[in-house]
Amino acid sequence: MPNIKSAKKRVVVTEKKAGVNKAFNTTIKTTLKKFDKALEEGDKTAIAEAHRAAVKKIDTAAAKGYVHKNTAARRKSRMAKKVSEAK
């Protein structure tokens, strides 16, 4: 455990930021799972809706720095490919 006041503060701030990052990444994973489930069902309107929601969530994550921009682009590209294959 840190003894210096600023080090104690850093521990608290780091834990708080880690919690926020984990929560946001969890929501991204959830939206991606919903997208995959819509693909399995084959309903085109559900696929389009899930794709739109997932892309929005990924763009938000990239803009806020939760995910690297190249990671976001890769995920969106893979999803777009799956959508075009489903049609």
Q: Which domains does the chain have, with CATH numbers?
A: 5-86 (1.20.58.110)
User: Residue 72: its pLDDT value, please?
Assistant: 96
Question: What is the distance between the terminal CA atoms of the chain, rounded to a whole angstrom?
Answer: 56
On the question of pLDDT at 87 being above 80, the answer is no
pLDDT tens per residue, range 32-49:
999 999 999 988 999 999
| Mean model confidence pLDDT for the chain | 94
CB atoms within 10 A of CB 17: 10
Tell me the pLDDT band of 1, cut-offs 50, 70 and 90.
confident
| DSSP secondary structure code for residue 67 in this structure | S
**CA–CA distance, 22 with 87 (Å, rounded to integer):** 34
On the question of pLDDT at 73 being above 90, the answer is yes
